[in-house]
Amino acid sequence: MSRTVDVQSAPRRDTYRILSSLVVPRPIAWVLTLGASGSANLAPFSSFMGIFSPPALAVTFGRRRDGSLKDTHRNLRERREAVVHIADASSLEALHASGEEVAAEVSELALLGLATLPSDVVAPPRLVGVPTALECRLREEHHLDDSSDLVVLDVLRAHVDERIWNDELGCADAERWEPVCRLVGGVNNGPNYALLGRRITLGTSRLPSEKA
**What pLDDT, on a 0 to 100 scale, did the predictor assign at position 147?**
87
Which CATH number covers residue 147?
2.30.110.10
- Say yes or no to pLDDT of 212 above 70: no
Q: For residues 185 and 135, which has the higher predicted lDDT (pLDDT)?
A: 135
Residue 209 lies in a domain: no
> Is residue 205 situated within a structural domain?
no
Look up residue 151 and give its amino acid: V
**Separation between Cα atoms, residue 16 and residue 7, nearest integer Å:** 9
User: Does the residue 206 lie in any domain?
Assistant: no
- The confidence band for 27, taking pLDDT boundaries of 50, 70 and 90, is very high
Q: Please report whether residue 126 resides in a domain.
A: yes
Q: What is the pLDDT of residue 13?
A: 80
Number of domains in the chain: 1
pLDDT at residue number 189: 66
**Domain that residue 184 falls in:** 12-195
Span 35-54, mean pLDDT? Answer: 93
| Domain presence at residue 34 | yes
Residue 20 · residue 191 · CB < 8 Å: no
Is 161 contained in some domain? Answer: yes
Q: pLDDT at position 99, please?
A: 92
Q: What pLDDT does 210 receive?
A: 73
pLDDT tens digits for 142-201? 999 988 999 999 999 999 999 999 999 999 999 999 999 998 876 666 778 999 888 898
| Residue 104 and residue 71 in contact, taking contact as beta carbons nearer than 8 Å | yes
Confidence of residue 65 (pLDDT cuts 50, 70, 90): confident
pLDDT classification of 72: cutoffs 50, 70, 90: very high
Residue 140 pLDDT exceeds 90: yes
Q: What is the pairing mode between strands 48-52 and 116-117?
A: unpaired
Considering the domain boundaries, does residue 208 fall inside one? no
pLDDT higher than threshold 80 for residue 211 = no
83, HSE (Cβ side, Cα atoms, 13 Å)? 28
- pLDDT score recorded for residue 186: 66
Domain-located, residue 58: yes
Read off the pLDDT of residues 82-130 as tens digits, 9 standing for 90 and up.
Answer: 999 999 999 999 999 999 988 888 899 999 999 999 999 999 999 999 9
